[in-house]
Amino acid sequence: MKKLLPVVIASLAASSYAVAGGHATASAPTVYGKVNVSLNNNDYEGAVGSEQDNWTLNSNASRIGVKGSYALTSKTKAIYKAEYEYGADDGVADGGSGDEFKSRNVVVGFQGEHGTILVGKHDTPLKMSQGKVDRFNDLELGDIGDYIDGDEREENIIMYKSPSFNGVTVTAAFIPGEEEGASAERDGLSDGTSIAIEYKAGDLRVALAANSDTEQDGGDDTDVTRFTVEYKVLPELNLGLLINNSEDDNTDSEQDAWLISGAYSLSNTTTFNFQYGVADNETGATDWEVTQTAIGLDYNFNKTSKVYAYFSQIESEATGDPEDSTFAIGYQVKF
């Protein structure tokens, strides 16, 4: 499958995106972004984060980007996007580099009746398959990426998304290893791959995704499988389920995780969010369980801004049974 994937994507690109004669019609680029800041009271004992007992003002994946398109034919357009994270709290993007901006998804591609092709740096299809299940996405100690493997943004990714066929879409990506030297092990065209199959019908969304040999925490031999279900049980209640398995041959580690979450609309403006997740980790002969419990409340002023409050706790069965928790109030604006 790894060798076939780039051939399939390249064939679709060649057959579907042939440009007719004539000049491209451009629309002006769009500026977009999100500012999310929160004031957190942290009590970390080292479960997933370093020990701390303090107050912090956090910028939670605040970002600004430019995107746009050029019509190439009546049915095809060239597309581009460059998105960067910045620190709305201290002017420094997360990651410890000290830089004002850190790249997020930066891509260029084509879009037409046969689908979308993007190349560059982008979230993997598996990461995107989580949808809205992660109710505390991007938040300190709330994001499932703090304890569940698989949330990766890959560089040098070539990705294709199919049109929808009876509610089913396929998103597939391959990543060349780009290693150099005679002893390079990852120098092929599709050393890493990621694929997600999604089905949508009414209030139901189901996704099955898999990563093979993609990067996880600096490594590159992690295989991840993820299953996600979201369903609007009631007009005011959305529930989600995520099941995740990852294996890393290099470190001989394995993780089995599951998560349930939900959002209950108390009114047109107010939503109660809840989330419970468990990750069983094994590394060699050592195993330990990590558990997350999170609850929160969103108040939406309008379609673009909200205030929120949340509490999240992650307990670990590692040595000393450390427990990390945070309480926060925050504000988010989208533009």
Task: Please list every residue from 59 through 98 that binds another protein, using CB under 8 A.
Answer: 65-69, 77, 79, 81, 83
Q: How far is CA 9 from CA 104, 166, 226, in A?
A: 23, 21, 23
Binding-site string for another protein from residue 113 to residue 152, where x marks contact by CB under 8 A and - marks none: --xx-x---xx-x--xx-xx--x-x---------------
What is the rounded CA–CA span in Å between residue 196 and residue 169?
Answer: 8
DSSP state of 304: S
* CB 38 to another protein: min, Å: 12
Cβ pair 328, 316 in contact under 8 A: no
Smallest separation (angstroms) from another protein to the CB of 333: 10
x-or-dash pattern for another protein, window 171-210, by CB under 8 A? x------------------------x-x--------x---
> Least Å distance between CB 305 and another protein?
7
CB of 97 vs another protein, minimal distance in Å: 22
Q: Give the sign of the dihedral formed by CA 115, CA 172, CA 242, CA 61.
A: negative
Beta-carbon contacts of 161 under 8 Å, excluding residues fewer than 6 positions away, are: 115, 116, 169, 170, 171
Q: Which amino acid is at 282?
A: E
* Residues numbered 264-323 forming contacts with another protein, rule: CB under 8 A: 265-271, 295, 297-307, 309-311, 313
Q: Give the one residue of 14, 15, 22, 53 binding another protein; rule: CB under 8 A.
A: 53
CA–CA distances in Å: residue 289 to residues 39, 245, 275, 293: 29, 14, 17, 13
According to DSSP, residue 266 is labeled S
Cβ burial, residue 54 (10 Å; 0-12/13-18/19+): exposed
Chain residues that interact with another protein, rule: CB under 8 A? 26-32, 34, 41, 43, 53, 65-69, 77, 79, 81, 83, 105, 111, 115-116, 118, 122-123, 125, 128-129, 131-132, 135, 137, 161, 169, 171, 196, 198, 207, 263, 265-271, 295, 297-307, 309-311, 313, 325-327, 329, 334-335
